Structure formats: C-alpha cells, structure tokens
Structure 1
Amino acid sequence: MRGKYFIGIIILGLSIFLHSTEAHLQLGFYSKSCPKAEKIVNDYVKEHIPNAPSLAATLIRMHFHDCFVRGCDASVLLNSTSNNTAEKEAPPNQTLRGFDFIDRIKSLLEAECPGIVSCADIITLASRDAIVTTGGPFWKVPTGRRDGTVSIRQEATNNIPAPTSNFSTLQTLFANQGLDLKELVLLSGAHTIGISHCSSFSNRLYNFTGVGDQDPALDKKYAANLKANKCKTPTDNTTKVEMDPGSRKTFDLSYYTLLLKRRGLFQSDAALTTNSVTKSYVQQLLQGPVSNFFAEFATAMEKMGRINVKTGSDGEIRKQCAVVNS
C-alpha cells in the first residue's frame, strides 16, 4: 500500500512539473525577457501607419492568412527554398504586402533583445496596433507564440478562403479553424478598410458563369460604375478598388451596409447574405452602435490569434522572419 502511495506521489509530482514547464500564451509574456518589446512594435506602427494607412488592412490580412495555415506561427513569412515552394507563392498570398514592414520591426527587436521575440508575435501585435492606429478597436494580445519551420504552398491554397468562395466553402474553412458563423461575419468586417485588385472579382463583372455574363447578385449600378471607372477590361490585374468605397480608411460598419445593398466586392462578401444566420448577424450589427461591433470584432480577433499556436519548446524563435534558423 505504501509503495502504491509513493508511486502516486511521483506521478502527481511529475504531472505538476510537466504542467508548470508547459508554456502558454500570456499577457506580458516578454515583460522580463524583453520589457520594451511591445512598445517597440507599437512605436514603429504608430510612426509609419499614418503615412501608409492601407498597410493596416495588409497587416490584418497577413495575420488572417498566417493563422489559417498551420496556426499563427509566421509560416506565411517564410521564403521558398530549392526543394520547397512556400505559402508566399500560393495564389491567395501573391498579393500580400508588408513583409518588409515586419522585417524592420524584427530588426529593431533583435537589436534590443536577440532571439527572444517571435515573428508570429510580431505579426499579431503589429496587426492589432495598426488597426488601433487607424481608429479601429483594441484587443488583448497575449504573447508567447513561437515560429513554425514548415511552409507549404498547397496548404495555403487549400485553407485560405478565396474571393470566389461560396457560403458552404466559407463555413467549412472557418469551422476547420474552430471559428463559427458569427466569427465569419465579424472577421469579414476587416474588409471595411481593405482594397483589392480587379483580378480578384472581375469574373463577377465580365464572365460569372463562363458565358460572358455578370453576377446577378451584384448591384447593377455598382457593377456598371466599376466597369466604367475602375476595372475597364476583364484582364486588368493592376487597378486597385476600395472594398468599402468612401470609407476605406475608417474602421466602421459601412462594409455591412454595402453587403445588404448587394455591393460587397467579392463573391465571398456577397455569400454572407445568402445564409439566414449570417445575414441576421449582419443586420444585428447594423442595428447596434459601432462600439458593439468593435467589442465583438476584438473578441473574434483574440480567438483567431490563438489558432494552433506553438508555445514552449515547439517551433523556434527565428533570427530572420523569412528563413528558418540554420
């Protein structure tokens, strides 16, 4: 009996030890190892985003694309190698920008405290700070993420929703990440400050079903305006279009208003009004003050930032965000 008791004590002690050494995300994770880390990120963002506000949309899109592939581990930042094609090369990521922005922040942090702050945490912090700088909501960012060492093009293609996604595809891809329909609607709200190239939606204007037709779900006047003033040819790959015309620099509810007017730019935007549940969420957001949207968006972003994170001894802290440590 005494022997069993002793073994039980050992097992209990071992489990406590393992639990105590297992790292988790926590607010102020770098408070001792790199006390100025979050201030360095915030200061850089506040200095540069006002001069290039479109970067706020770019950074939050990068964060979204990163978390949907292998979790929030900065795998989207990795370059391709001679024997691997990375996520950067996948169609959803070929229009991503802001990599140099993250690299510059990383350089500042490496100078302050080498090998401490992960690229994954930099993306998460910078995207939050950029939204706040443009007048959007603040949300808590617990830190302690570690960087992944694997980045595969096909995984990005398979897991990141395309602008042409229908409701069923959106529901599946979000559910795969543990996100529900309400969070689908809320996170789509980031399009309130976004811009897009014509190539991401020109099929809705010129060749929706392959016979030279227009998407009937798109408001006719809006479509005509886009054809006349923006995407003048089906092959335009360079012109940029505001996703929330007249309000793209303001984080507000205008995007949802446009959805109900059939003026969502992407098929994936319009898809939110094809399901009774998601359409109801859109209507509820518009019936309340913008502060409600801010609070719920913040909660959804906090949840997204925890998707399959690497902590403890998993992954690594990259010295350079574009390459794994040698």
Structure 2
Amino acid sequence: MFRLMPGSPLAAYIDPNFTPEQQAELMARFGLDQPLWRQYLIYLGNLLQGDLGESFFYRQPVAERVLALLPNTLILTFSSLILAYVFGVLAGAYLAWKRGSVVEQICVPLVLTTRAMPEFWLGMLLLAVFSFGMGWFPAGGTRPPGAEYDSLWALYSSADFWWHMTLPVMTLAIYSQGLPLLLMRSNMMDVMREDFVTMARIKGLSTFSVVIRHAARNALLPVMTSFAIAVGYQIQGNVVVETVFSWPGLGRELVRAVSTADYPLAQGAFLMIAVVVILMNLVADLLYAALDPRVTHE
C-alpha cells in the first residue's frame, strides 16, 4: 500500500544532476522498476532472511533504525498504561462501591468524555496550557537542546528524559484510563452481588476488606487480560501522540517515512507495530489461562 502513493521514493537519493539513465539505474538497484507483485515477492524473500532493506532517507539498514526507536515507544506505552490501569482499577472499584451516589453520577460521564476525546486534540490542549501557556513542561523531544548522554541507560535514567515524557504520558493515560475504570466498575458491580461478598459482610469484615480483598480480587481478571491487549492498541495510538509531541518513536518515524515515501522504513515500522500487537494478544490469552485455570484445556 505504501508503494501505491504518489511521489518519488528516491528523492533523498537522486541528485538533480543525475541523468535519466543514472536515475533508472538507481531505481533498478532497489527493485523499484519491477511490477508491484514482484516487489512484494522480493520483500517477502528478504524478510525471511531477516533483511528489512535500507532506508532511502537515512541511508542505513531499516532494522537498525527501527530497533533504535522501539525502546522509546515501549517506555512511553508502558508508563502511560501502568498509570492508567492503576488509577482505573482503584477508581473503578470505588465507583462500584459508591454506586448511585453523586460521585458516581459525576465521574462516569466525565470518564466517558475523556475516552471520547481524540488523542491528538487532548495532546494539543495539554501543550497549549502546560507548555506554551504556563511553561511548566517542554514542548517535545526527549532531552534539552544540545544535551548529550554517554549511553541509552544514562538518557533513560535522567530527570530530563522523564520530564520531557510527562505530557505525552499524561495524554495517553487520560485517554486510556476509561477502559480499565469502566471495566473494573462493571465487574465489581457483578461481584458485589455474589454470595461470598454477602457472607463477608455478615461476618462483620471492614469495608476495605470486603471491597479490596474479596470483591476487587475477583473482578481484576478481565482487567488484567485487557492490559496486554491495550499495549498493542496503545502502540498504534502512539503514531498520533508521538507526532504531536515530536517523540522519537516508531509512530512518529512511520509518519515521517510515509511523508517522504521511504518504503523500506515505513514497511519496517509498520511490521514492528503489527508484531507487537500480535504478541500482546498472545500474552493476553496466556495470561487469562494463568490467572483463571478454569479456561485451560488439555
């Protein structure tokens, strides 16, 4: 599909002084003079050998570029999801306990509103208020201009990295917390009607013990399995958020590759995102079987 777009895929390679013969030779070097079906077969053959091709724009192997950006995307994804799910589970359990109260009547529509907000719009709103308006947070990137670090570990463990990541994480967390919150609330309301919860109340156990130790533990199963699936979907959503915040991850690189018709890099980034989505769906299935032995079979 990337190769059906208009534009010259070798704009970064072809010099204006190249003759038509030299341009044709360069197109043949990358196999772009072949029919589309043959280009696809060539791509599959190279992929089976672990070769994702060479980026037209960066002039380096796609695998190196993709693997260098993957940690940034994973850190952003897991940080935001952990924050969203911790808040969502606790708030969902509380709203289920306070069912029918004024607090629930206010919070549920508010949660639905945050879930309905487009991620790019929410990110631009946070940028306008907390970065451009108040100047509390940087507008993008992972480090201050000119800052150098000896290693990736030095960068990831620095305060600058986490300070730059605050707004992107908050954007994704605010958008993502609606799913675990509503799921936990729904599960809790079902569990609260079970006989073992009624028995715990009759025994005179504290409210904390009834809600957390008995009801919440049994309502967590679908929420925990949804976390693995959410990782895959979150990485897809990062395409927009990383672009808004100039975050150097797979999503932003995919957008850049598409805009510059860098076919190998676009294919490599898209493939990596697809692999992560499929793996996290597999993890969700395995996690569900591990948490609930009743779903396993011989």
TM-score, L = length of structure 1:
0.26
| Greater radius of gyration (CA) | 2
TM-score, L = length of structure 2:
0.28
- Of Structure 1 and Structure 2, the greater helix share is in 2
